[in-house]
Amino acid sequence: MTAATDPGRPLRIVIADDQASVREGLVLLLGGLPDIEVVGAAPDGEQAVALVAEHSPDAVLLDLHMPVLDGVGATRRLAAQYPEVAVVVLTTYADDQSVLEALHAGARSYLTKDAGRAHIAQALHAAAGGLAVFDPRAQAALLAATLARPGPVRETAAAPPPDGLTQREAEILGLIARGLTNPEIAAQLYLSNHTIKTHISRIFAKTGSRDRAAAIGYAHRHDIG
């Protein structure tokens, strides 16, 4: 049973950062919250994976640039071996390459280190519940990367969606990639929340996405959004 299915249980997390002061600060900041339990802290991605194997946490908060095994490599291993564990990136970097690499590896959320304790905690809980949270700078980097891609816009827009997606599903996937929540998508398209959830379930199935972050990565790889 996870914190997402048992609201009374604290969210169990592992923290990974190669800077001891940052790592210890995060342990103190987040461990002091009543709804979060820090079960381990690691100085590199290799040890983070080992701690996940040992403690089975709900989520991992990790930096991208670490020795031995970096954050992208650790995320890739965690997504393959422990797909039920949510990965939240907390890093200094918000450039499009870093964001896209993390999302493609399987990260669910992406924050920069100027995020406050409440925002980090919210992102961890949301990621454990299958949702994605993005720092505004990371979201802007994703949007800039999408807009910077060359190619004739008319032909791309006219092409049929990939993997059997309907036009409506592609439209909703594009809104997900822009960071809209289910209620925001429902309001924009004048549809019910239930209808949006049904569409999103089909989108996940057709694109092979296990969560919102994976769907966002798929959308950017296929120029949807």
- The verdict on 61 and 159 lying in the same domain is no
Question: For the domain that residue 215 is a member of, what is the CATH number?
Answer: 1.10.10.10
Residue 3 placed within a domain: no
- The verdict on 128 and 176 lying in the same domain is no
Pick 137 or 74 by higher pLDDT: 74
- The verdict on 215 and 104 lying in the same domain is no
Pick 129 or 159 by higher pLDDT: 129
Whether 128 contacts 58, CB under 8 Å: yes
- The verdict on 49 and 78 lying in the same domain is yes
- Our count of domains for the chain comes to 2
Give 40-85 pLDDT, tens digit per residue.
999 999 999 999 999 999 999 999 999 999 999 999 999 889 989 9
- The verdict on 99 and 177 lying in the same domain is no
Q: Which domain holds residue 129?
A: 11-142
| Tokens representing residue 59 in the block | 């989520």
The per-residue pLDDT for 144 is: 66
Instruction: Determine which of 7-21, 134-148, 182-196 has the lowest per-residue pLDDT on average.
Output: 134-148
CA 76/CA 131 separation, integer angstroms: 18
- The verdict on 25 and 85 lying in the same domain is yes
Residue 197 placed within a domain: yes
User: What predicted TM-score, i.e. pTM, was given to this entire model?
Assistant: 0.65
- The verdict on 137 and 156 lying in the same domain is no
Q: Work out the average pLDDT over 96-108.
A: 83
Residue 4 placed within a domain: no
CA 17/CA 109 separation, integer angstroms: 16
* DSSP-derived secondary structure for the chain: --TTT-TTSPEEEEEE-S-HHHHHHHHHHHHTSTTEEEEEEESSHHHHHHHHHHH--SEEEE-SS-SSS-HHHHHHHHHHH-TTSEEEEEES---HHHHHHHHHHT-SEEEETT--HHHHHHHHHHHHTT---B-HHHHHHHHHHHHH--S-HHHHHHSPPGGG--HHHHHHHHHHHTT--HHHHHHHHT--HHHHHHHHHHHHHHHT-SSHHHHHHHHHHTT--
The model's confidence at residue 195, banded by pLDDT at 50, 70 and 90, is confident
The per-residue pLDDT for 147 is: 60
Residue 2 placed within a domain: no
Q: Is the dihedral of CA 211, 67, 123, 220 positive or negative?
A: negative
Residue 163 placed within a domain: yes
The per-residue pLDDT for 148 is: 59
Q: Does residue 208 surpass a pLDDT of 80?
A: yes
Of the residues 90, 121, 142, the one at which a domain ends: 142
- The verdict on 156 and 183 lying in the same domain is yes
Question: For the domain that residue 118 is a member of, what is the CATH number?
Answer: 3.40.50.2300
The model's confidence at residue 1, banded by pLDDT at 50, 70 and 90, is low
| Tokens representing residue 65 in the block | 């640039």
Of the residues 108, 142, 176, the one at which a domain ends: 142
Give 145-190 pLDDT, tens digit per residue.
656 555 544 444 446 788 888 888 899 999 999 888 998 888 888 8
| Average pLDDT of the chain to the nearest whole number | 86
Pick 61 or 136 by higher pLDDT: 61
The per-residue pLDDT for 166 is: 85
Of the residues 115, 142, 169, the one at which a domain ends: 142
Whose CA is closest to 58, among 94, 15, 22? 15
- The verdict on 17 and 91 lying in the same domain is yes
Residue 6 placed within a domain: no
- The verdict on 115 and 52 lying in the same domain is yes
